[in-house]
Amino acid sequence: MPNKAKIFRRIFLLIVLSAGFLFFQFTKKGKQNSAVQKSEQKIENVQSSPAVSSRVAEEATESTGTIPAAVPIFMYHYIRAYANSADPIGENLSVPPQKFEEHLKWLKENNYATVFPEYFKAPNLMTAKPIILTFDDGYQDAFDSAFPLLQKYQMSGMFYLIVNKIGTPGYLTWEEILTMQASGMVFGSHTLTHPDLRNLTPANLEKEIQESREILTQKLGQEITDFCYPSGKYTDAVTKEVKNANYQTAVTTNSGISSLKDDPLLLERLRITPKTDIATLFNR
Ligand SMILES: [Zn+2]
């Protein structure tokens, strides 16, 4: 019987070993399976959430880095030396040429580059410090004073024209406008007659906004896409008509610095007076 017992013991040992081996194999496979699942999850994570977060990072770089979030728009009217205590409004709208030159010099020294209101529709990645210089009403001194100084500092301006005033005393002529255009100056509509747009009949509102654009587009040989509300006055109906007329941007006289997220048909500006100190303005 000792042999039989020996055989039984061997069989028992064999069964225990086999069971142990099978158990070991089973748990090993289980661990392998869960490891595969984990790495698959990792791959999924790489394909979904990190892609979103890297896109957010790119956008953050765009809004805070390469593309400036906001662009200051300066508002000028006359560039002339003008002292008349009986006309304080006229005095306040007149920046002497020497003062204007100081502004351009400061902007140049501080690495600002002029862009146009279209920037709000299509930002230019290459311009680190953009600024828009606007001139309302199309006065004669835009050609005589502003234009040569802008050229001297290799800058450009956006001039809003009152179409029916063009060629009348005190205002730019078509010839001057075309000369300025050939040197990189840009023009927009400031209506036909500079009325308070809030008080017009729908037909007159359409005429002031649409017809001024059509005349300028035809005379300048290029699509006019920028508008300026006379005296900064508008209502929802006015803005709607500006949009219907296919303008891409419109400036107000509301004080502020518009960001790329703002409505491009309600852009805010910084009023520049003879007393404005540009360095103070920027440090404010
Ligand atoms: Zn005006």
**pLDDT band (50, 70, 90) for residue 246:** very high
275's CB contacts (< 8 A; 6+ apart) are none
Q: Residue 135 is which amino acid?
A: F
Element (H, E) at 92: helix 88-92
| 208 and 174 Cβ atoms separated by less than 8 Å | no
Q: How far is the CA of 211 from the centre of ligand 1 (A)?
A: 17
- pLDDT for 103: 97
Residue 56 lies in a domain: no
Q: How far is the CA of 15 from the centre of ligand 1 (A)?
A: 102
Q: How far is the CA of 98 from the centre of ligand 1 (A)?
A: 23
Q: How far is the CA of 191 from the centre of ligand 1 (A)?
A: 9
- Range(s) of the domain holding residue 80: 69-283
Quote the percentage of the chain above a pLDDT of 90.
Answer: 70
Same domain, 97 and 41: no
Q: How far is the CA of 135 from the centre of ligand 1 (A)?
A: 9
Q: Give pTM, 2 decimals.
A: 0.76
Q: How far is the CA of 138 from the centre of ligand 1 (A)?
A: 9
Residue 99 lies in a domain: yes
Q: How far is the CA of 123 from the centre of ligand 1 (A)?
A: 26
Strand 226-228 and strand 249-255: the pairing is parallel
- pLDDT for 19: 54
C-alpha to C-alpha distances, 172 to 53, 240, 251, nearest whole angstrom:
53, 29, 21
Stretch 214-227: mean pLDDT, rounded?
98
Same domain, 164 and 37: no
**Domain harbouring 96, CATH code:** 3.20.20.370
| pLDDT tens readout for residues 67-84 | 667 899 999 999 999 999
Same domain, 40 and 162: no
Residue 123 lies in a domain: yes
| pLDDT tens readout for residues 131-166 | 999 999 999 999 999 999 999 999 999 999 999 999
**pLDDT band (50, 70, 90) for residue 11:** low
Q: How far is the CA of 28 from the centre of ligand 1 (A)?
A: 83
Same domain, 88 and 31: no
Same domain, 40 and 77: no
Q: How far is the CA of 227 from the centre of ligand 1 (A)?
A: 11
Q: Residue 187 is which amino acid?
A: F
- pLDDT for 69: 74
Same domain, 242 and 193: yes
Residue 60 lies in a domain: no
Q: How far is the CA of 280 from the centre of ligand 1 (A)?
A: 26
| pLDDT tens readout for residues 14-58 | 554 455 454 445 444 444 444 434 333 333 333 333 333 333 333
Q: Total structural domains in the chain?
A: 2
**Average confidence score pLDDT of the chain:** 83
Q: How far is the CA of 77 from the centre of ligand 1 (A)?
A: 8
| Burial category of 218 from C-beta neighbours within 10 Å (exposed 0-12, middle 13-18, buried 19 and up) | exposed
Q: How far is the CA of 74 from the centre of ligand 1 (A)?
A: 14
